[in-house]
Amino acid sequence: MQYDVIIAGGSFAGLAAALQLARARRKVVVIDAGQRRNRFASTSHGFLSRDGATPGQIIAEARIQLGRYATVEILEAMVLKARRTGQEEFTVTTPDATFTARRLILAGGVQDILPEIPGVMERWGKSIFHCPYCHGYELNQGEIGILATGALSMHQAMLLPDWGTTTLLLNGSFIPDAAQLAELAERGVTIEDRLITRISGASQPVVELADGESLAFSGLFTMSRTLAGPLAGQLGCELKDGPMGKFVGVDEFQQTSIPGVFACGDVARAAGSVTLAVADGAMAGVGAHRSLIFR
């Protein structure tokens, strides 16, 4: 099947790209594996006019609106392979089909790799978060714990006192130096250096410590590592190092180092959000469209 643009990943970034291309009446296929990064959270915050909405509801409404454009197809599948097959031709394969297009947009997001503490995964997006702007307000200025994963956790520890009384749980992952201790003290952060055995608790997380004591919190934060999918590497796109993981380098039109391949959303930035993914996606859609004309 031949398209103007293939979009690999059909969440906030990919659907925003598709919308711009749909409005230019271009033939687009969005192929989506359905594993949105925020699928663990029941509400999404900070996206203007949709603050507090269910993430799945935002996507469902976007899909309904895109369904009104005759030139857009949305398929449920995982793109396994992407390659350049001609001067202006890209081919992607899913388990069941092959698609070709003149442009390709990578919008596959990233996967979070969480600290290996029992009880973290089940609470991810419910009472353990990474982004205070997304989920800090709802903790109502309560007790906040940070599960440190390394020196980068200093960043969360310095920010979070604006959202509640903050404890930095080092868990053996790093030792703040004298200057960092002074900065933390200035922000009123308590340091806890006992090792953690697991997280328990229902709606409010409880940190169980190695010496048998436990600490209850309104919510916990931790810095995940992020993993981008293999497609950018298969195509030879330049990757950049971010604080949490590698991401695809793009120009101001979201074009990667490979002409004709665009990338948007979390896969193409050091740190992302719904708002930023939608903005990047809109630009990738416009960028891909313009590149079909101004060659």
With respect to ligand FAD, which residue has the nearer C-beta, 144 or 231?
231
- Minimum Å gap between C-beta 204 and ligand FAD is 17
- Minimum Å gap between C-beta 134 and ligand FAD is 3
Chain residues in the site for ligand FAD (CB under 6 A) = 8-9, 11-14, 31-38, 40-41, 44-47, 78-79, 107-109, 112, 124-125, 131, 134, 229, 231, 265-266, 272-275, 277
List the structure tokens of 192.
């806890």
Is 249 in contact with 238 (CB distance < 8 Å)? yes
With respect to ligand FAD, which residue has the nearer C-beta, 38 or 153?
38
The residue of the chain with the least Cβ separation from ligand FAD equals 265
User: How far apart, in Å, are the Cα atoms of 48 and each of 37, 241, 273, 275?
Assistant: 19, 29, 12, 8
With respect to ligand FAD, which residue has the nearer C-beta, 35 or 57?
35
With respect to ligand FAD, which residue has the nearer C-beta, 39 or 198?
39
Q: How far apart are CA 233 and CA 239, in angstroms?
A: 8
Report the candidate in 229, 290, 282 with the shortest Cα–Cα distance to residue 259: 290
Q: How far apart are CA 30 and CA 15, in angstroms?
A: 8
- Minimum Å gap between C-beta 140 and ligand FAD is 16
Is 51 in contact with 45 (CB distance < 8 Å)? yes
Q: How far apart are CA 206 and CA 86, in angstroms?
A: 56
- Minimum Å gap between C-beta 254 and ligand FAD is 12
With respect to ligand FAD, which residue has the nearer C-beta, 128 or 168?
128
Q: How far apart are CA 286 and CA 292, in angstroms?
A: 10
List the structure tokens of 233.
């590497």
List the structure tokens of 158.
């310095």
- Minimum Å gap between C-beta 106 and ligand FAD is 8
Per-residue buried b or exposed e for 9-34, using 16+ beta carbons within 10 Å of the residue's own CB:
bbbbbbbbbbbbbbebebbbbbbbbe
Q: How far apart are CA 265 and CA 77, in angstroms?
A: 19
- Minimum Å gap between C-beta 129 and ligand FAD is 6
Q: How far apart are CA 153 and CA 221, in angstroms?
A: 9
- Minimum Å gap between C-beta 270 and ligand FAD is 12
With respect to ligand FAD, which residue has the nearer C-beta, 45 or 103?
45
With respect to ligand FAD, which residue has the nearer C-beta, 14 or 119?
14
Tokens 């089909």 correspond to 97
